[in-house]
Amino acid sequence: MYFIRLVNAIIKSIRGAKGGYILARKPQNISVLDVYRCIERLDDVVSVFETNIESPNVAQEVWQEATDAAQSVLQKYTLFDLCEKLAVRKQMELMYYI
């Protein structure tokens, strides 16, 4: 199921002998949160505590705060950012061998 969401939101397919998958948007326009939302549902964690009758608000408030913080961090980075970070690390590794 999440592959269908991924295809619709992040990647598109190209048919034919030389077909395959490519990004539907520029990597600068795809946040890590976009990818995560295709694979997981952040609101599932919070909804677990909605059935707790003894203390529904306390646990839910903490998990909502955690979810908001996670979303904020994941929204801050794009696929392009991750590629840049990887390139920098690879360059640093090469420097140690010189």
- The per-residue pLDDT for range 25-84, each reduced to its tens digit, is 999 999 999 988 887 765 555 555 555 556 567 777 888 898 899 999 999 999 999 999
Q: Which domains does the chain have, with CATH numbers?
A: 2-96 (1.10.10.10)
> What pLDDT score was predicted for residue 12?
87
> What pLDDT score was predicted for residue 38?
83
Q: pLDDT confidence of 17, banded at 50, 70, 90?
A: very high
Q: What is the 3-state secondary structure (H, E, C) of the chain?
A: CHHHHHHHHCEEEECCCCCEEEECCCHHHCEHHHHHHHHCCCHHHHHHHHHCCCCHHHHHHHHHHHHHHHHHHHHHCEHHHHHHHHHHHHHHHHHHCC
